[in-house]
Amino acid sequence: GHRRLAALRAGLHGVDRIFVVDAAGVLWADDPVAAESHGRSFKDRAWFTALERSSAPAVSGVYTRFAEPPVPVVAMAAPLVSGTRRLGVLVHQYRVEHLAERLGARGFGAEGRIVTVDQAGHAIAAGDEREALRFAASPPVRGVLAGRGGTLLYRDGRRMMTSAFAPVRAGGALWGVVAVAPAAEAEAALGGLRLRIGLATLLAALFAAGAAAWAGRARERELAMARELEARGKHFETQTKELARSNADLEQFAYLASHDLQAPLRSLKNYCELFTERAGTGLSEEGLRLVGLAQQSVLRMQKMVSDLLEFSRLGRDNVPTRPVALDACLDEALTDLAPALARRRGTVERGPLPSVDGRDAQLTRLFQNLLSNALKYCEAEPRIKVAAARENGDWVVSVEDNGIGVPDEKREAVFGLFERLHPWEKFEGSGIGLAACRKIVEHHRGRIWLEPAAPHGTVVKFTLPAS
């Protein structure tokens, strides 16, 4: 995918970046490669929503792109289809600074200029931000964005300005060419003004025609890419089904194994207690120690089996999502952990948390596990901070502690089932807590990861889609 896109971009003049998203708007391949964009959904972009309404190529307005460097760009987008099925979207991005060389401001007279504007009134090469905002609100720009053309005399502060403007359609979007100058000097430059308005309008029209011509020239390449995307999509779909079936089999096995192991463990625990009672004082000190170790091992095994059973049940209840206040989930988790907090003299500093679409029992369990870990793996008085922030359409929730921390090379491994970094004698636990957290977050279409806290400790972050 990347090599094909690189070859395609090499044959297109002025294209700064080219990429393909799938039918859901998620990035599939790009050139140049921008790792920060991989896996991100672009379904909220104007070019994507335009193609949901029409199959014609679309041209966006000016916006700041997500990929590095985050510069202002204009995008051209065309659908990738197979028959009547839409497989994705091919997108070309052009930097505004490069477009400005062709479509940007052109002067005439001492202060006159001709500017190309997009459908939001953003002027290409309009100057600083304050000037751009004032220009976007001017009468000729409002006129051209309403689809009108003509001339207009208007007041800008203390000066009278004369203007000429013409609308241009480009890829289903409305653009415009606007010429403005102080009225006092416009008459002297009238001849040159007419020539330059004609030139700028022609350039904007060529830009509009370029969208259609670009789609035509790239059609064969797009069809080949569409066929490749469809083949990969079918392969991915098959692998996904096989993986889902394997996961279901493993979850069923875990459920049955953990359920069936509980009865013999209870019997073993009872036999140890019965043996201790009947032996009474007849057991030596070494015998009592060995029986005690056996009882501890049974308790550890019961804890592991119980946690494994609960882990296997996550996601099996088919409970539908509904609006859930994370503040209420955190309240319930703190109520359950109040004795442990008091015993450790721990404090929890919290900010406001959002409401999300989710399952309240699972999200409460998520907070319980994370707070319990923050208390357990802290040798000083625990100080815990819980906060949330909006990033790229998702909520990012963080739980920060002042504990012993996690080594860099283990930050991914700790989410594995039965994964432990410390001996059970030092820190009790089954090694299932963070694995359950990851399963809950992924069940809510999010992701979870660890970061170091300053000066020491750990920050657990997870994302949840905004409602």
Q: For 68-113, write each residue's pLDDT tens digit.
A: 888 878 888 888 877 777 888 888 888 876 765 554 444 555 666 7
Share of the chain above pLDDT 90, in %: 17
- Does 268 map to a domain? yes
pLDDT at residue 192, rounded to an integer: 45
**306 and 444, same domain (yes or no):** no
- CATH assignment of the domain containing 392: 3.30.565.10
User: What CA–CA distance (Å, rounded) separates 458 from 348?
Assistant: 15
Block residue for tokens 């797009």: 222
Burial of 436 (0-12, 13-18, 19+ CB in 10 A): buried
pLDDT band at 272 (very low <50, low <70, confident <90, very high): confident
| CA-based nearest residue to 461, from 408, 348, 385, 362 | 385
**176 and 241, same domain (yes or no):** no
pLDDT at residue 124, rounded to an integer: 64
Integer CA distances (angstroms), 459 to 323, 348, 387, 401, 413, in order: 26, 14, 11, 6, 16
pLDDT at 21 over 60: yes
Q: Which domain holds residue 55?
A: 2-95
Return the CA Rg of the chain.
Answer: 32
pTM of the model: 0.44
Domain count of the chain? 4
Block residue for tokens 């043996």: 275
User: What CA–CA distance (Å, rounded) separates 302 from 308?
Assistant: 10
Annotate 352-362 with b (16+ C-beta within 10 A) or e (fewer).
ebbebebbbeb
**89 and 108, same domain (yes or no):** no
Annotate 72-89 with b (16+ C-beta within 10 A) or e (fewer).
ebbbbbbbbbeeeebbbb
- The mean pLDDT value for 404-432 works out to 75
The better pLDDT of the pair 108, 32 is held by 32
pLDDT at residue 267, rounded to an integer: 74
| CA-based nearest residue to 376, from 402, 352, 357 | 402
**273 and 374, same domain (yes or no):** no
pLDDT at 353 over 90: yes
Q: For 140-156, write each residue's pLDDT tens digit.
A: 888 877 878 777 778 88
pLDDT at residue 216, rounded to an integer: 52
Q: For 434-453, write each residue's pLDDT tens digit.
A: 888 998 998 888 999 999 88
Per the CB < 8 A criterion, the answer to whether 385 and 349 are in contact is yes
Hey, how many other C-beta atoms are within 10 angstroms of the C-beta on 157? 7
Annotate 249-262 with b (16+ C-beta within 10 A) or e (fewer).
eebeebbeebeebe
Which 8-state DSSP code applies to residue 41?
Answer: B
**354 and 440, same domain (yes or no):** yes
